[in-house]
Amino acid sequence: MKKDRNPLLRVDIITIFPEYFTPALKIGPIKKAIEKGLFDVRFLNLREIADSPKEVDDYPYGGGAGMVLKPEPLKRALEMAGHENGFVINFSPQGKQLNQRLAHELIEKKHLILICGRYKGVDERIVEKYVDLELSIGDYVLSGGDVAALVLLDVLVRLIPGALGDMDSAATDSFESGILDAPYYTRPAVFEGMHVPGVLTSGNHELIAKWRRKMALRRTLKRRPELLRKLYLTKEDLDFLEEIEDGD
Alpha-carbon gap, residue 171 to 46, rounded angstroms: 37
Is residue 1 one of the residues assigned to a domain? no
Is residue 133 within 8 A of residue 87, CB to CB? The reply is: yes
* Last residue of one domain, picked from the residues 157, 185, 212: 157
* Domain with 84 in it: 9-157
pLDDT at 168: 53
Mean pLDDT of 204-233: 94
| Greater pLDDT, 205 or 175 | 205
Is residue 142 within 8 A of residue 41, CB to CB? The reply is: no
* Last residue of one domain, picked from the residues 130, 157, 184: 157
**Domain holding 241: CATH number?**
1.10.1270.20
Is residue 106 within 8 A of residue 87, CB to CB? The reply is: yes
Alpha helices (H) in the chain, listed in sequence order: 28-35, 46-49, 71-81, 100-107, 124-130, 145-157, 167-171, 205-223, 235-245
Is residue 164 one of the residues assigned to a domain? no
pLDDT at 248: 77
Alpha-carbon gap, residue 41 to 60, rounded angstroms: 31
| Secondary structure (3-state) at 36 | coil
Residues 22-76: tens digit of each pLDDT: 999 999 999 999 999 999 999 999 999 998 877 999 999 999 889 999 999 999 9
- In percent, the amount of the chain with pLDDT more than 90 equals 83
Name the pTM for this structure: 0.86
Alpha-carbon gap, residue 76 to 44, rounded angstroms: 10
Q: How confident is the model at residue 18 (pLDDT cuts 50, 70, 90)?
A: very high
Is residue 85 within 8 A of residue 111, CB to CB? The reply is: yes
Nearest CA-CA partner of 22 in 141, 115, 153, 142: 153
Residue 228 gets which letter from DSSP?
G
* Total of domains in the chain: 2
**Domain holding 101: CATH number?**
3.40.1280.10
| Greater pLDDT, 161 or 5 | 161
Specify whether 19 is located in the same domain as 85.
Answer: yes
Residues 124-174: tens digit of each pLDDT: 999 999 999 999 999 998 999 999 999 999 999 999 988 886 555 555 555
The rounded mean pLDDT for the chain is: 91
- In percent, the amount of the chain with pLDDT more than 70 equals 93
